[in-house]
Structure 1
């Protein structure tokens, strides 16, 4: 599967076809050199895991995907399934950490994330014009 941008029409198709899949959103910024390098790794990870939906969200272009949350460090990752946030936080830019985290969170008995996080990002991406 691809690494989608929030405005991609194919993203809505992927979200509708895979309603139970993990949604993995990477919040970054165009001016961030670390993000530029990380984006290539995330795209490669997306190609390796077509069972998950990956989104690249520039915080300056799509601030509505953050609700009232602030992103102070990059990359910041959100992982959501069926409208429940499973993880939201900054990670070191090592793609293997995201892959391992997503594999662990893909288990059906995973508890929801308890901290502050954007809410219902999947629905925002699926239903809105961003």
Structure 2
């Protein structure tokens, strides 16, 4: 009877040990996966200085005008596209320049109308 009881206790102890090892491996691998994800995110971040932009700007080939905000090659500065056209409207000013302004939920052309009113001192 004692042998059976001893064997049963040893079996239960072995089972418990195997169960703890399973959970330890599971949680340890989760920690490793989280650490790998953090390393990948850090690898994707760009530096906070402007070296990347300067290198890209200097290596861009453009025979006309290179837009500083988008690095697009256009014939004239006021032809530069807005960097975020989904949320910005480009408004050409009368002096051959253009600006990009937030659409801000206004209806089509509302940003240009408000800028023109502001230029006239009416807003």
TM-score range, shorter chain: under 0.3
Using the size of structure 1 for normalisation, the TM-score is 0.24
Using the size of structure 2 for normalisation, the TM-score is 0.25
Higher relative contact order (CA 8 A, sep 6+): 1
Question: Which is strand-richer, 1 or 2?
Answer: 1
Question: Which is helix-richer, 1 or 2?
Answer: 2
